[in-house]
Structure 1
Amino acid sequence: MPVYHYPDTLGEACSIMAAGEDAMVYGGGTAVQILLKQGVLFASDLVDIGAVPGLGELTRTKDGLRAGPLVTLRQMETSPLVRELAPLAAEVYGRVANPRVRNTASVGGNLAHGDYRLDPPTALMVLDARVELTSARGKRSVPAREFFVDFQQTALEPGEIITAVEIPRQPEDAGAHFAKLSSLAVNDWPAASAAALVVPASRGRRQLRLGLGALAHVPVFTQFELAGDTPVGEVVATAKEVARPLIDPLPDVRGGSAYKTRLGLVAVEEAVRGSWKERDDERRIPFLGRRRRR
């Protein structure tokens, strides 16, 4: 069994992580508890960071918001700050598992788990979020798009602790939509998921960003630009063409590779249609109340 540590400061936590041969951070504990019970967690030390000041704070920043690693998924779902600054993130965090899990699972622990089926990375990638990592060697910031490096592997290096997730403010005129498709139960891991964000680009064009979950051995990101007046059907066709080579799902009890591929393209279409339509609706709003001149 691993040795448990309860540091009072971040510096102490980093020192313990540096000294441990296979030290691991204990945050919300939802994944760690399961892995311990299954006998597949191999850690020399578990560092409980629950008493470290500041790690459970959710704050506004100059460019958006900053979520400490101990902020719960439920807080991300319900916080007025997140709903104001990054509504897509609030939506996606609110779709993870069930309220019991979301009330316990933490932002940092969710990412550190490194599972390719996670929901939050799809939103974090399209929102240009960054993950702050701290160790006895110092701090560094990694784009969410680069945080997942291989199957069940992240950019975390030995001794590092996730100390924040920084999310830029979602553009007010952006269109966004999240699609999650499950084959066993609504609270189960998704068989396919997709987050889409549409933002204005130069010369009347729009950029469409896509984050895909459960459709490859890591969460996947891609983006492309189209003319702003492109019909949504053409946008969907382009999105599927761009996403298809990136989809390489792992077969499991939720479906085989071919089934998940088809489901993935359905998720892409739903996310793209929702985000492109939302952007169009937003552009039309100022004109809805105008009276026709006679």
Structure 2
Amino acid sequence: MTAYHYPTTLDETCALLDDGEDTMVYGGGTAVQILLKQGVLFATDLVDIGGVPGLDEITETSKGLRVGPLVTLRSMETSPIVRRVAPIAAEVYGRVANPRVRNTASVGGNIAHGDYRLDPPTALMVLDATVELTSRRGSRKVPAREFFVDFQQTALEHGELVSAIEIPSQPESAGAHFAKLSSLAANDWPAASAAALVVQGSRGKRDVRLGLGALSHVPVFLQFEAAADTSVDDVVTAAKDAATPLLDPLPDVRGSSDYKRRLGLVAVEEAIRNSWKEGSDDHRRVSIFGRRRR
């Protein structure tokens, strides 16, 4: 029978996680509840971190945002701070499942779940976010691009929990777009997704970043440079050429590998066309929330 623990400090939480053999953090609980119902969760102890103060806060820093693991996906979607500092993150978090799930699921639990189909990692990767992991041994930071190491496996080690996600500010002149394509229902897991961020660089170049979801056994990140005067058609072609060898989607009820691969290229094209257009608008960006920023 699974035992529940209710720590009130981060140190106590880390001690419980370190002492147990099959211990799991319980945050929002959406994934845990599903696994319990499916009979595939074998944790002997669940550590509920809801009583640890400060883990549900979004803080603006000199570099961007510090997001606690218990912040809900809905808060990321609606927070004025997130919408101003990292609007592509707010957009992507707002596309996860449905409002009922987003009101419950937590930022830390979402990324720790490690599912290759997750939406938020696509934005976190293009924004160059880092994941803070804390244990009795101290804290360390792992780039979001390196956090997912294999199929449903993350960089989390025994005794660690996600204690924060640090998200750099989205550059003012950047163009951004998130494309999510589902084959069963709008709020289902995506069959393919792509977040694009086009950042103004130096020497007449633009940095093109792409985060891909549901198109391999882990979220995929790729990056390349393109001249600022390159046509959007040529940038789309370059993005597809760069993405194609990285696409290795798993077949399921949402489609075959071949179908998802083709859909993935559609998502890449949509994300690039919209973000490149925004990024070329006289170094200004019309944000996804309709407010012009300079």
TM class, shorter-chain normalised? over 0.9
Looking at structure 1, the residues matched to 175 and 168 of structure 2 have their Cα atoms a distance apart, in angstroms, of: 15
Could you tell me how far 1:284 is from its partner in structure 2? Answer: 6.9
CA distance in structure 1 between the partners assigned to 2:144 and 2:132 by the alignment: 10
Describe the SS at the equivalent of 2:280.
helix
Name the aligned partner's letter for residue 66 of structure 2: R
Q: Which residue of 1 aligns with 2:99?
A: 99
Aligned twin of 2:198: 198
Once the two structures are superposed, residues 168-225 of structure 1 have per-residue CA deviations (whole angstroms, 9 ceiling, x without a partner) of: 0000000000000000000000000000000012201001000000000000000000
The sequence identity of aligned pairs, in percent, is 77
Q: Give the 3-state SS of the residue equivalent to 1:37 in structure 2.
A: helix
Q: Determine helix, strand or coil for the equivalent of 2:16.
A: helix
Q: Find the aligned partners of 2:155 and 2:284 in 1 and give their Cα distance.
A: 42
2:182 and 2:188 in contact (8 A); partners too: yes
Q: Is the 8 A contact 2:126 2:211 kept in 1?
A: yes
Runs ≥4 residues deviating over 2 A: 281-285
Which structure has the bigger radius of gyration? 1
The 1:284–1:27 alpha-carbon spacing in structure 2 relative to 1, beyond 3 Å, is: closer
Gaps of 5+ in 1: 286-294
TM-score when scaled to structure 1?
0.96
Q: Residues 43 and 281 from structure 1, CA distance in 2 versus in 1: closer, same or farther, beyond 3 angstroms?
A: same
Does residue 129 of the first structure (1) align with residue 129 of the second (2)?
A: yes
Contact residue 215 and residue 249 of structure 2 kept, 8 A? yes
The CA distance in 2 between the partners of 1:108 and 1:133, in whole Å, is: 10
Q: Secondary structure at the match of 1:281?
A: coil
- Count of aligned positions: 285
Task: Give the drift of 1:62.
Answer: 1.0
- TM-score w.r.t. the length of structure 2 is 0.96
Query: Which residue pairs with 1:289 in the alignment?
Result: none
Counterparts of 1:282 and 1:200 in 2: how far apart (Å)? 11
Q: 1:2 offset after TM fit, Å?
A: 1.5
CA RMSD of aligned residues (A): 0.9
Match for residue 224 of structure 2? 224
Q: Which residue of 2 aligns with 1:23?
A: 23
Query: Distance in 2 between the 1:57 and 1:158 partners?
Result: 25
Give the unaligned 5+ runs of structure 2. 286-294
Q: Partner letter of residue 245 of structure 1? A: P
What residue is the counterpart of 1:251 in the other structure?
251
Q: Is the aligned partner of 1:40 residue 2:74?
A: no
**CA distance in 1: counterparts of 2:107 and 2:12, whole angstroms:** 21
